[in-house]
Structure 1
């Protein structure tokens, strides 16, 4: 049986292979990461049953296909501070096609269904996998009974790739690393803990309208909430005025306000608090800025999508935020 081989060349090639029992067909997948790998996580289960997305979120539902077999999910963190999402995703897509996989669908951020799509799929938890709600790519492919999904996203300085695969046989043993001048080795490599992301200062309120029209999301940086409270403190917030003006330009536009917290406290209470804060921002848009109720909704995801490490106070502060995510025109 071939092992997962990691060749320490400039591209850090990861060859991922799975073999069925002797005499059975071979199911294999070889991927080369587009940048240096600095962290990895893995999860395997056999037998398993999984609902794999096969289309974009539309009409209030995410189309899925129920597949059974050996489930493997891997996540890699890449040192990619200057790489665009396309630069991360296109080489991986090309490799799937070159290996005989047929693309089922390929979408990006808003075209996938944005918030609804992201939280309708299974994603490995932070810090193993990070997903920027306004900057991710999802690729689904199939080769015979082998089904593969790739989820690609970015954060400050890093790229993230998650592979979800269901096939009759699991991926080969691994990971195994090669010495710098060797093609393969039998020396096992332990899973690498994810390093804390490089923290950058939270920028002042930027051009919210441009961000909504461009990447499809904008963090409302100037909002102020009381400690542990869901109410928005009184004040004139430039970010809300920009959101309102952007929505007023086209009645078909809409946004989902997504509340976020840091990791402190319980998951359920944090999700509830984040939703209260998003709802408070929605009420401010409706009452103070005259936004139509149908153009804005509110959700909360608690600590599930941090943008910086929760290990420092600066990071926890940056993670407590409300983000506006543009939805597809009605």
Structure 2
């Protein structure tokens, strides 16, 4: 408690005493990294996790801009946790500062830190790893972010912290990643077991409604993968979950094929455009459509290594339907993300 009181004096000398009620939260450790506790500037209620999985974490190392957004990929054990903190009179700065100080005390060094518009505002928030509502609430006009890392037994341990608040509550998400070499490899030979046949690849077609396929037939006159003559295509099979804006986990054939084309055509630039049906108002639909496009953009960058400068994300809500909104099937078709080729050469 002595260390917490010292932090209190350093970051908010005028805060009411009750606001600094302490809560210790267990932060899980991997085999190489010991667990440690984080203390919050007020009573904290866990809203998610901690959960630990083998995964990849794209730690932001710069602010977002249309030209570039850099991340450092950490492959290994990834832990995610979020809390709601009872801090009605404290700012997002008051939330971040004690957490930052505790990370520094634990040996972490800041890699990148920013606040709201310096981070890149809306685009930054939807380009990074953030849990959905209600586990994590982010006010697009008031949030702060910190990336930090330390070396443990020769491996990199990374932490990403985002804080925000509502009118009466503070919100904190911590993502912790510990790099490792992966599980031991099995001994293998170059022989093929009896009864097994070599696997064959599967050709994936990305199509736009009533348009030629993105991947031409084998006997087509076109050279390799190209966008349809219309200049846009619907990314089939994407799943955002019911009422959600974040793309669910899984391998999407349409994204894999699009990523391959983007790698083969590094001089081409596309815009991912989100669309909705007419349920709800225009403002909310514009927001969710851009959030969905940003989620697809983030997946292409993080999972397939596409340069951020090659993709932008936009949303037009329900303003560009391709089917009638009078039927459920038509509304389903209208809820989509399209890839639009924006290069002029």
Q: Between Structure 1 and Structure 2, which shows a larger proportion of strand residues?
A: 1
Alignment TM-score, normalising by the size of structure 2: 0.46
Alignment TM-score, normalising by the size of structure 1: 0.48
Max radius of gyration: which structure?
Answer: 2
